[in-house]
């Protein structure tokens, strides 16, 4: 079992959700996060004073999946979240030792 974590541009939230639903992903966790990568920040100007904004708003997806399902999920996210511009985000995959469904106590793949 794996945890797929993806950080994407906020405006791509709906596209990624739709793409994941289309390949049959049922459970996702989404959070609003701030961060900075190669894109750097941007500059805002108030009454002529420049304020560098170095942490940007991003959306983080977390998806638990069977190992065999990981590659299609990655493909779906890359396809739906890419704009080709700098700042499109990152995806990383980590191993998960155990998953438990709270309602029934089911464990492992059955709980995903």
| Interacting residues with other proteins (CB under 8 A) | 44-49, 51-53
Written as six digits, the tokens of 43 are 């500059």
Q: CB 44 → other proteins: shortest distance, Å?
A: 7
Q: CB 49 → other proteins: shortest distance, Å?
A: 7
- What is the C-alpha separation between 60 and 46, in angstroms, rounded? 30
Q: What is the DSSP string of the chain?
A: -EEEEEEE-GGGHHHHHHHHHHTT----EEEEEEE--TT--EEEEETTEEEEE-SEEEEEEEEEE-GGGHHHHHHHHHHHH--SSTT-EEEEEEE-S--B-TTT--BGGGG-
- Of 44 and 106, nearer to other proteins (C-beta) is 44
Q: CB 112 → other proteins: shortest distance, Å?
A: 25
Q: CB 52 → other proteins: shortest distance, Å?
A: 8
- Of 22 and 43, nearer to other proteins (C-beta) is 43
- Of 31 and 71, nearer to other proteins (C-beta) is 31
- Of 26 and 46, nearer to other proteins (C-beta) is 46
């Amino acid at each position: 079992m794996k945890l797929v974590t993806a950080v994407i541009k906020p405006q791509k939230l709906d596209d990624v959700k739709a793409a994941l639903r289309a390949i049959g992903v049922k459970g996702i966790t989404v959070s609003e996060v701030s961060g900075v990568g190669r894109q750097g920040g941007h500059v805002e100007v108030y009454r002529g004073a420049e304020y560098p904004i170095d942490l940007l708003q991003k959306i983080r997806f977390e998806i638990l999946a069977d190992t065999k399902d990981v590659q299609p999920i990655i493909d779906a996210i890359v396809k739906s979240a890419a704009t080709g511009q700098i700042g499109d985000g990152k995806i990383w995959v980590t191993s998960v030792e155990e998953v438990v469904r709270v309602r029934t106590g089911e464990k492992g793949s059955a709980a995903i």
